[in-house]
Amino acid sequence: MRKISKKLVVGTAATAIVAAGAGVAFAYWTASGSGTGTGTVAGANGSLVLKGTIDTALTPGGSSLVHYTASNAGTSNLRVGTVKAVVSTDKPACDITWFTIADTTENQTIAAGASDVPLTATGSISMSDSLTDNQDACKGAAITLTLSS
C-alpha cells in the first residue's frame, strides 16, 4: 500500500477549494448597461405668510421697533431672506414719504407646517418731522406694511 503524503493532501484540498471558489466567483455574467430615470422637482412648495407688528404709535420725528413672524403651511422648509416692507396708510392725505422702514435681514428657515414663528431680527420704522408740512393728516392713521421676502 502506498503512503500518501500530507503535502499532497493539503495541496489537493487547497486546489479544490480555489477551484470551487473560482466557480462561485464567475457564476454570473458581467456586463455594462444603460437606461434612464425620471422625476420632478416641485414647481412650488408653498409660500410664507409674513406679518409685521409696529410696537408703538408713531409721531413726527419718532420711531418704533417692528417685530416679524412667518408662517409656512407648505410641506417643506422655507427660508426667509431679507424682509422688505412698503408702507401705506388708510388716510390718502397722509404722505407715505414721511415714513421710512429699512429692509431687515433674517436668513431664517421656517419649518414646514409652522405658524407665527417669531423672526430673529427686529426691524424699525420712523416718521420724519417735516419742518415745512403740516403732518396732521396722519393723526390716527392706520399703517399697513406690505411685506415680501
Q: What is the pLDDT of residues 119-141, one digit of tens each?
A: 999 999 999 998 899 999 999 99
* Of 141, 17, 29, the residue nearest 91 (C-alpha): 141
Position 32 scores a pLDDT of: 64
> Which residues, in sequence order, are bridge partners of residue 53?
67
* Average pLDDT of the residues of the chain: 82
Domains of the chain: 48-130+140-148 (2.60.40)
Read off the pLDDT of residues 74-99 as tens digits, 9 standing for 90 and up: 999 999 999 999 999 999 999 999 99
Please state the rounded mean pLDDT for residues 46-67: 94
Position 10 scores a pLDDT of: 47
